[in-house]
Amino acid sequence: MKAKLTLLVFVITLFSVLSIKAQDFNLFNPSNELYLFSAYDEGSNAFRYNPAVLGLGHRLNMTVNALNHQADFDGLNELDLSINAGFLGLAIRRYTGDKDFYSNYDLDQFGNLIEYTGFSHIQRYTVSSYSIGFGFGNKTISAGLLFEFLHRSGFVSPADVNSGFPSFRNGLGLLYRPNSHLSFSFTYNSDDAMSVMHHTTDKYTIGTAIRPFKNDRLTLMGDFSAFRYGSDFFGNNKIKAGAELKLTNGLYLNINYTRNNESIRNEFLGGGIRIDFPNGSFRYNHIMNNSRSNMIYYDSFMPRHSVFTNSGGHKYSFIGSQFSLSYNVERRKSIIPEKKKIVEITLSGSLQDYNTEDVFFGLLGSGKRSIHEVIGDIDYAAADPSVKGMILKIYPLASGRFEITAAIEELTASMSRFRAKNKTITVYFPQDVGPGGYYISTFADDVVMPAEAIFYYGLSVNVFNYNSFLERYGIDLQTFYAGKYKLTFQGLLDSTTEEGKEVINRVLDIVYEKMLSRIVTGRNLTLDDYLLDKLSQPLTGSEAYRLGLVD
């Protein structure tokens, strides 16, 4: 609690002491795009920059961004709220300023070509944008669509900006991540602009992010954007480069560089810090600008006739601060050490691969989750840094004819992934222990069962023989099949013969040998004749403990 109060005081203090000179930001897009990268950033903070991140299927997360970059305006210049849950993203942004817009044309003064890029007439204006995005895909490849409505008020000249301002625009994004340390992206945006000096047009961006050490200690990022103006496709472009360094869990430093290549080159240099908490984060970015334009003439009677040139400006100056506060349902590695916890999962009955619902509000029967959801919970707990272990409670299972089913194999594979994260699993049997349940428990660190419960690890198959019944009532069943032993387990033909019985016993021996082999591996036991003999008998929990089968 003390750390949270300290952080709150720090944020309030920063807002209260800001006195920031104004410089031109992108009017149409959130200011956080100065440090966002299309192939790296995710969640609600980034879906407008690349809607493909919505295809990653993150749980609920939301972000509040704020920008203050102008001393003449009393309040925040930008307030931005975005929400993302699953494939859907929603955002609303309001930008307010007291500075009018730049125009752009050439002026011949005293034989020199001067670029006239702005005027100092003051006029308050606001821009509000409403965004909705959709995404689909998986962790390897995803795509997304973005739709936005923009509303403006308080606009005065120049007319080209006013007439060219979009009301509706859209975008799409692609994201490809072949592995955990490499990412590629492509985005398209309609009616975008590098700054208010230009009409809006189509914008195309390609990006990449790489982790050279194959972990999250260092991430390098880059974006290249081209703005299409007539036949000139690459003449107006934007280059972004950045790096993020992880100092420790939950503490990151970042630096980024943006260069707008247009008639007058404009450069931004930013640096900041990100602090992660278990379900949230705080981010601060310090923004500087090096505009290659310089005022060479100021008209005190008509300020809008002041003249600028593109020959000056080689020094970075502080122009603004950007703040972000976010909340996520998904837990992340935090700068504040968390109290470790144990998750509990229960298995019983059949391990079905589909969900069932409650019958009449649960009065006539309870619904049951699929085994795939259980496996998903185990994988999620494995990735959760606050989870240190798992208790797997197993009631008697109906695990099929040969006990070891595909569902059990998938379940034990997820248990192995969980333990690979240096987390422990304890299996607890409240009742008797059967072959399928015990096979699962051999993938755990510890196995616990009541001393008086029954342990049995044999393997049997019941095959009903219908031949005598059919003959007694004179029923002649004609069966057509391909394969000599096709009907072995159907109780119609082969199971009544010696050959059929031999096939059944051979299959049972193969499966049982696999079950025994798992005991040797999972429990670190020697499979001698004595243990084999004991395993063929029902045992009490106390006997199983003496044999090293349980803990």
Average pLDDT on 321-340 reads 84
Q: 339-458 belongs to which CATH class?
A: alpha beta
- Among 61-70, 91-100, 366-375, 433-442, name the one with the lowest average pLDDT: 91-100
Specify the pLDDT at position 131.
Answer: 94
11-15, 292-296, 311-315, 350-354 — which one is most confidently predicted on average? Answer: 350-354
Which residues make Cβ contacts (< 8 Å) with residue 309, sequence separation at least 6?
114, 115, 293, 294, 296
76-80, 236-240, 329-333 — which one is most confidently predicted on average? Answer: 236-240
pLDDT class for 221, splitting at 50, 70, 90? Answer: very high
Count the Cβ atoms, other than its own, within 10 Å of residue 266. 22
Output 526 or 52, whichever has higher pLDDT.
Answer: 52
Report the CATH fold assignment for 20-328. Answer: Porin (2.40.160)
Closest CA to 182 of 148, 152, 210, 206: 210
Average pLDDT on 26-51 reads 81
pLDDT(3) > 50 = no
Per residue in 257-267, pLDDT tens? 998 887 667 78
Per residue in 252-297, pLDDT tens? 999 999 988 876 677 888 999 999 998 899 999 888 877 655 544 4
| Angle of CA points 289, 114, 262, to nearest 5° | 45
DSSP string of 328-359, one letter each residue: ESS----SSPPPPEEEEEEEEE---SS-BPPB
Write out the two tokens for 469.
Answer: 């019944």
In the block, residue with structure tokens 């299996």:
427
Output 109 or 541, whichever has higher pLDDT.
Answer: 541
pLDDT(155) > 50 = yes
Distance CA 344, CA 426 (A): 10
pLDDT class for 408, splitting at 50, 70, 90? Answer: confident
**Mean pLDDT for all residues in the chain:** 77
Return the bridge partners of 322, or none: 67, 285
337: left (phi over 0), alpha (psi -120 to 50) or beta: beta
Specify the pLDDT at position 400.
Answer: 62
Sign of the alpha-carbon torsion through 405, 411, 414, 420: negative
pLDDT(427) > 90 = yes
Strand, helix or coil at 274? Answer: strand
* Helices 371-383 and 406-420, axial angle in degrees (round to 10): 10
| Angle of CA points 530, 531, 534, to nearest 5° | 90
Amino acid code (one letter) for 445: D
Output 485 or 98, whichever has higher pLDDT.
Answer: 485
Question: Residue 101 CA to chain centroid, in angstroms?
Answer: 38
33-42, 108-117, 161-170 — which one is most confidently predicted on average? Answer: 33-42
Percent of the chain with pLDDT strictly greater than 70: 70
Distance CA 485, CA 491 (A): 11
Specify the pLDDT at position 521.
Answer: 87
Return the bridge partners of 428, or none: 393, 448
Contact 551, 545 (CB under 8 A): yes
Domain residue ranges of the chain, discontinuous segments joined by +: 20-328, 339-458, 459-535
Burial of 410 (0-12, 13-18, 19+ CB in 10 A): middle
